[in-house]
Amino acid sequence: MPVEIERKFLVTGDSWRVAGDATRYRQGYLSVNPRCSVRVRVSHDRAFLTIKGKTVNATRAEYEYPVPVTHANELLDTLCARPIIEKVRYRVEYQGLVWEVDEFEAENQGLVIAEVELESEGQVIKRPDWVGDEVTGDTRYYNSSLISYPYSQWSEIANKTD
């Protein structure tokens, strides 16, 4: 079974911006439930349908399949839940690992997350100085959660529960 082992962190400061490799993503979700999510993602002239299982610690099943860009755009425009996730991803190499920094736009503007994929959950990593608190287990930071509770609404939600 293909798996993804990934840790997520909040980003502090701007020193990560030395990265030159930036990719714009547009992605949406056809299904989100506690057991799995089904995502459609378009970037440049490539598109993928991805099925991800429930995350346990930092690991989850992940199946990814290329799809025609026209089909993916149709799915994003007509069938995916709103809002669509829009972000720019920067790839930053540090201490032998590639950190992916996602700078969110639109309804999630202001949120910046760094992710690093690992070979095992026990793999030791050295964090760059711009990596802050770990949010790996915090479901609010899952892209699939940001469609139901966009970052721009977090202060509104917090105020309603206080």
Cite the active site residues.
Answer: 29
Q: Which two tokens stand for residue 8?
A: 């997520």
